[in-house]
Amino acid sequence: MEKKDRAIFIDFEFTMPDRHGRKKGFYQEIIEVGIVLVENGEILDQFSSYVVPIRFPILSERCRSFLNITQEQVDGGISFQELINKLKSMETNYPSLIVTWGNMDMKVLRQNCQKSGITFPLQGKEVDLSMEYKRFFGDQNQTGLWKAVQEYGREGTGKHHRALDDAMTTYHIYKLVEKDKQYLKKPKPTTIGERIDLSKLFNKFA
């Protein structure tokens, strides 16, 4: 992490077109947000809310069933502008590290801002943890968030496709990856006994 070790872990859920084709001009909109703000390894803030989509406010049946979400829940959410204000308030006086699993979250946020004529709210360096994970472990394919946790021998937090649970799970994986990076970066110790057994390490992730 950078500058006071501050990072914002973000996960969004989006609208989806129906199976039978897209409405004209359809684009994905954020309908749920989960944010975990971490500073110096401590969770400072967590935020979770549904978000009312602007352009296509009625959810498709596919979206409702995939995310196990109701129209009423989304209708009771915050406005997109309130979401933007919340994201701005998270960064306070200096940019933080912005961590997501995959690149869709920031892509859709940028597009939603553009379509609404709102300035993109985040200044910090964006990290796609799924690509970091892929580079670090040499996986051929991009790993799904919860598969990555299970490969670490953990279970995800809460329910998959609940935005706050996914943001928290992303944070847990970030901690595990950073810890392993430190582990592999250690200078060669003076005694053999202190050396890490790489064969065990590789077996762990095989």
Structure tokens, 39: 């500073």
Active site residue 194: no
Indicate which residue of 2, 13, 42, 126 is catalytic.
13
Active site residue 172: no
Contacts 24+ apart (CB under 8 A), 132-141: 132/177, 133/173, 133/177, 136/177, 136/180, 136/181, 137/205
Cα–Cα distances in angstroms (integers) from residue 144 to residues 6, 10, 98, 102, 151, in the given order: 25, 16, 19, 9, 10
Indicate which residue of 91, 160, 161, 178 is catalytic.
161
Active site residues: 13, 161
